[in-house]
Structure 1
Amino acid sequence: MDALAFDDVHVHFTREEWSLLDPSQKRLYKDVMLENYRNLTTIGYNWKDHNIEEHCQNDRRYGRHERTPAGEKPYEYTQWDKAFKYHSHLQKLERNQTGDKNSEVFQHSKVLACQSTLQRNKRTDTREKPYKCNECDKAFLKLKYLRVHERTHSGKKPYECNQCGKAFLHLNYLRIHERTHTGEKPYQCNQCGKAFTQRSHLQSHKVVHTGVRPYICNQCNKAYPQQNYLRKHERTHTGEKPYICNQCNKAFSHQSNLRIHEKTHTGEKPYKCNQCDKAFSHQSNLHIHERTHTGEKPYKCNQCDKAFAHLKYLRAHERTHTQEKPYKCNQCGKAFLHLSCLRVHERTHTGEKPYKCNQCDKAFAQLKYLRAHERIHTQEKPYKCNQCGKAFLLLSCLRVHERTHTGEKPYKCDQCGKAFTQRSHLKTHKVIHTRGRL
Structure 2
Amino acid sequence: LEFVLDQEDPEPPQIKEETEEVCTSQEGEFVPKQDPDMFMLAPVDEENDQSEDETVDLNPDETDKNPNVGETRGNDFRQSCELRGHDNNVDEPYFCNMCGTRFADRGALRVHKRTHADEKPCLCKVCGSRFTNSSTLKVHMRKHTGEKPYLCNMCGTSFSDRSALTVHMRTHTGAKPYLCNTCGTRFSDRSALTVHMRTHTGEKPYLCNTCGSRFITNNDLTVHMRTHTGEKPYLCNTCGTRFPRLNVLKVHMRTHTGEKPYLCKTCGTRFRNNSALTVHMRTHTGEKPYLSALGSISEVNSTKV
Q: TM-score range by the shorter chain?
A: 0.5 to 0.7
Query: Residue 77 of structure 2 contacts residue 111 of structure 2 at CA under 8 Å; is this kept in 1?
Result: no
Q: Does 1:80 align with 2:36?
A: yes
Instruction: Report the CA distance between 1:304 and its aligned residue.
Output: 2.2
Q: 1:338 aligns with which of 163, 183, 189?
A: 189
**Counterpart code for 1:428:** V
Q: Select the residue among 221, 241, 254 that pairs with 1:390.
A: 241
Is the Cα contact below 8 Å between 1:375 and 1:393 reproduced in 2?
yes
CA contact (8 A) 2:158 2:165 kept: yes
TM-score (norm 1): 0.43
Q: Which runs of 5+ in 1 are unaligned?
A: 1-13, 22-26, 34-78, 88-109, 112-184, 206-226, 229-240, 244-253
Which of 109, 118, 123 in structure 2 is aligned with 1:271?
A: 123
For residues 110 and 237 of structure 2, the distance between their equivalents in structure 1, rounded to whole angstroms, comes to: 44
Secondary structure, aligned partner of 1:425: helix
Partner of 1:16: helix, strand, or coil? coil
TM-score, scaled relative to structure 2: 0.60
Tell me, yes or no, if the aligned pair for 2:205 and 2:216 is still in contact at 8 Å. Answer: yes
Q: In the aligned structure 1, how far is the partner of 2:31 from the partner of 2:175?
A: 36
Displacement of 1:271: 2.1
Structure possessing the higher radius of gyration over alpha carbons = 1
Q: CA deviation digits over 1:44-90, x for unaligned, max 9?
A: xxxxxxxxxxxxxxxxxxxxxxxxxxxxxxxxxxx53243xx58xxx
Indicate conservation of the 8 Å contact 1:272/1:278, yes or no: yes
Alignment of structure 1 residues 242-281 onto 2, 5 Å = 259=114, 263=118, 271-273=123-125, 277-281=126-130
Give how far 1:291 is off. 2.9
Matched residue, 1:410: 261
| Identity fraction in percent | 38
Q: Is the 8 A contact 2:150 2:158 kept in 1?
A: yes
Q: 1:400 aligns with which of 239, 251, 273?
A: 251
Query: Structure 1 residues 16 and 297 mapped into 2: Cα distance closer, same or farther (>3 Å)?
Result: closer
Contact 2:204 2:215 in 1 (8 A): yes
Instruction: Trace 1:33-432 onto structure 2 (pairs within 5 A).
Output: 33=34, 80-83=36-39, 86=40, 190=60, 193=63, 198-201=73-76, 259=114, 263=118, 271-273=123-125, 277-282=126-131, 283-284=134-135, 286-432=137-283
Q: For CA contacts below 8 A with separation 6 or more, give which structure has more relative contact order.
A: 2
Q: CA deviation at 1:421?
A: 1.3
Letter in 2 for 1:17: K
Letter paired with 1:405: H
Structure 2, unaligned runs of 5 or more: 1-12, 21-29, 44-55, 81-90, 93-98, 102-108, 288-305
Aligned to 2:16: 17
AA matched with 1:309: S
Alpha-carbon contact 1:260-1:281 (below 8 Å) kept:
no
More helix as a share of residues: 1
Q: Is the 8 A contact 1:188 1:202 kept in 2?
A: no
Instruction: Work out whether residues 383 and 391 of structure 1, in 8 Å CA contact, stay in contact via their aligned partners in 2.
Output: yes
